[in-house]
């Protein structure tokens, strides 16, 4: 867990590199991706044990249903349905892996282990956040969106409403049968992991021109995680 201002600055620098410098997003001053949520979040750093280099980071914000309007995601999605959620929630955001470490599968595994420990310690019932596709053009991701529509839409009782001015309503517009191989190849690794554990998504994607991404609201009720996968995550967390 980040303990010093230097830790958070390192995370902000990695976020700048992965979300802005190498993606075509709108530039920021100072080479740092920082916002008002950083001060109220807990930050997780995954470091390379060989040299201490920061390989991955993300942040987490515990919330109740009544507080969900204060989340990062609430800027883009109408989340009034989740205001009635009675369990404890955590918003997970700004997840990124250093491009130099992107091919190492252990990083994602360790990151989910850290999330699992946080979830268990805090008594969390639901994880949520925004899962991002690179770029703002939808054509390359039509099979992925068709698969999300067919298999992974949020339960109606939790379904986020449209709030952002520019969205892709894939659940309404797509009529194609997804090519599963093509869908998985173009789906972000973090989103794939959410879905493998029983996660679900909004019925539309937000077009975020500032960060040059398409993102979907993603939720995971902890009770839906398959027992075998939960045991494996807790082994990593321990």
Over the stretch 197-209, which tens digit does the pLDDT of each residue have? 999 999 999 999 9
The Cβ of residue 120 has, within 10 Å, a number of other Cβ atoms equal to: 15
pLDDT, tens digit, for every residue of 49-107? 888 889 999 999 999 989 999 999 999 999 999 999 999 999 999 999 998 887 888 89
Coil/strand/helix, residue 204: coil
The answer on pLDDT for 238 being more than 80 is no
Rg, Å, the chain Cα set: 17
pTM score over 0.75: yes
Region 30-51 average pLDDT: 92
Q: Mean pLDDT throughout 139-164?
A: 97
Alpha helices in the chain (DSSP H): 5-16, 105-122, 142-151, 170-173, 180-186, 189-196, 227-237
Instruction: Name which of 76, 90, 108, 92 is nearest 189 in CA terms.
Output: 108
Q: What is the mean pLDDT of residues 10-15?
A: 95
Domain range annotation of the chain: 60-92+100-237
């Amino acid at each position: 867990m980040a303990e010093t201002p230097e830790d958070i600055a390192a995370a902000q620098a990695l976020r700048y590199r992965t979300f802005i410098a190498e993606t075509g997003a709108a530039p920021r001053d100072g080479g740092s991706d920082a916002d008002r949520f950083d001060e109220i979040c807990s930050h997780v750093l995954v470091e390379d044990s060989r040299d201490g280099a920061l390989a991955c980071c993300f942040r987490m914000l515990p919330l109740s249903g009544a507080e969900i309007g204060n989340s990062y995601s609430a800027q883009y999605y109408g989340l009034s349905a989740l205001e009635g959620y009675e369990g404890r929630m955590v918003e997970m955001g700004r997840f990124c892996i250093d491009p130099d470490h992107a091919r190492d599968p252990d990083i994602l595994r360790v990151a989910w282990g850290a999330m699992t420990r946080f979830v268990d310690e805090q008594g969390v019932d639901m994880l949520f956040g925004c899962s991002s596709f690179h770029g703002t053009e939808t054509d390359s991701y039509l099979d992925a969106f068709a698969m999300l529509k067919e298999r992974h839409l949020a339960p109606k009782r939790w379904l986020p409403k449209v709030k952002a001015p520019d969205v892709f309503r894939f659940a309404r517009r797509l009529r194609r049968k997804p090519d599963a191989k093509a869908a998985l190849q173009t789906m972000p690794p973090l989103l794939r992991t959410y879905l493998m554990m029983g996660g679900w998504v909004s019925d539309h994607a937000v077009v975020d021109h500032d960060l040059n991404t398409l993102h979907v609201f993603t939720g995971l009720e902890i009770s839906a995680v398959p027992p075998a996968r939960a045991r494996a995550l807790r082994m990593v967390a321990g």
